[in-house]
Amino acid sequence: MREIAGNQEWTGRPSGQSGYALVLACLIASCLVSYQGSAFAHDSTASLDAGGLTLTLNPDISMESEDLYLSPGEVRVVYRFHNTSNHDIATLVAFSLPVMTIGEQGNYDLEGRDPVDLMDFKVTAEGKTVEPKVEIRATRFGVDVTDVLKRYDIPPTMIASGEGARSALNDRLDDLPQDARNELTRYGVIDWNTAFGAADKPLASTHWDRHITYYWFQTFPAGRTIEVTHHYKPVPRHFFFSKEELANPETRKLYCIDQSFASAAQAALKQSSTAILAGTELKYVLVTGGNWLGPIKKFNLTEEKPSEKALVSLCADGIKRASPTTFTMSADNYAPDSDLNVLFVEPMPVLIRSR
């Protein structure tokens, strides 16, 4: 597309700062210590590639329309489903998150999130609130270890609510008794051999995958169209955007970066005292949930960037500017063949002042 210039779950011990500020503070500190004028391959958080709803395969349900709103802070979706049959259909509807790694690879911005409803996921059907159930599992090498963690009061999400709660959880894991350590080590979910604190004290290092699915049963009345909505707080990736990143052919292809965006980004990089910008990547899964009859008859996308100074790029045919901060596109009989990858780039000083 064309651009016109215009909470951290760290593997270490978190502080009491807000999630986004903590992410940025850690990235900036890393930059100031290690900046060599090259790409910052490891100075980033991880993205959680969430998307829309998944229905049990049913050829009698069609999607009349989907209105999708994307921003770094919120995703909103309004669906209009039509039951083409002459009988009511009750079916399972699910919102599944990708598998997330707990441990040194699980660098997600989840500071301040709820231990169970970490996406702040909300659903309505015909204007009435739906209370989805949440299934949370932990696995190690494909083996379910949820009950093993629960035996020692270890949350599978490794998210603890309240000020100082995460530090308290880390301290408790560091000091677990030997019998608990033996079982947790046997299952490979925690070790005390790879990280050390003051006076070489062994620290707990976690290793498992978490699986989270929101689900409920939805009734689609015979011959009728109903509206189902959901919204949630996404987990985007935060990273340094440098001139090397801009020149990377894979980056340009992934976000469909054109000359207009490139020129604006180059100008912003030149104005930056550190020659870097704050990058945010938001992914939305479009291609896995289509268990309905035919394509989406009417698809509407609204994408909003965090500020007028931010730049944005994504692969979306026909997208156009609707306001200083929003872009829109519409398509009939929409059958997506790829997911959405949205790139936001902002001047670093703007984000620092927001801390």
Q: Report pLDDT for 31.
A: 43
Q: Report pLDDT for 290.
A: 64
Domain assignment present for 210: no
Q: Report pLDDT for 105.
A: 55
Split into its structural domains, the chain has a count of 1
Domain assignment present for 197: no
With beta carbons less than 8 A apart as the criterion, state whether 136 and 210 touch. yes
Q: Report pLDDT for 29.
A: 45
Domain assignment present for 312: yes
| Region of residue 158 (left: phi > 0; alpha: psi -120 to 50; beta: else) | left
Q: Report pLDDT for 24.
A: 47
76 HSE (CA, 13 A, CB side): 11
> How far is 10 from 24, CA to CA, in rounded Å?
12
> How far is 234 from 96, CA to CA, in rounded Å?
13
Q: Please give the residue range of the domain that contains residue 42.
A: 19-132+223-353
Domain assignment present for 264: yes
Q: Report pLDDT for 127.
A: 96
Question: Tokens in use for 182?
Answer: 């033996």
Neighbours of 286 (CB within 10 A): 21
Domain assignment present for 145: no
Q: Report pLDDT for 355.
A: 40
Q: Report pLDDT for 116.
A: 85
| Per-residue pLDDT tens listing for the chain (355 residues) | 433 333 333 333 433 333 444 444 444 444 434 333 333 333 455 656 677 788 887 889 999 999 999 999 999 999 999 999 999 999 999 998 888 888 765 567 777 788 888 899 999 999 999 999 999 999 999 999 999 999 999 999 988 877 888 899 999 999 999 999 999 999 999 999 999 999 999 999 999 999 999 999 999 999 999 999 999 999 898 999 999 999 999 999 999 999 999 999 999 999 998 899 999 999 998 876 666 778 899 999 999 999 999 999 999 999 999 999 999 999 999 988 888 999 999 997 544 444 4
Q: What are phi and psi of 212, to 5 degrees?
A: -130, 125
Domain assignment present for 184: no
With beta carbons less than 8 A apart as the criterion, state whether 340 and 284 touch. yes
CATH number at residue 63: 2.60.40.3680
Neighbours of 266 (CB within 10 A): 13
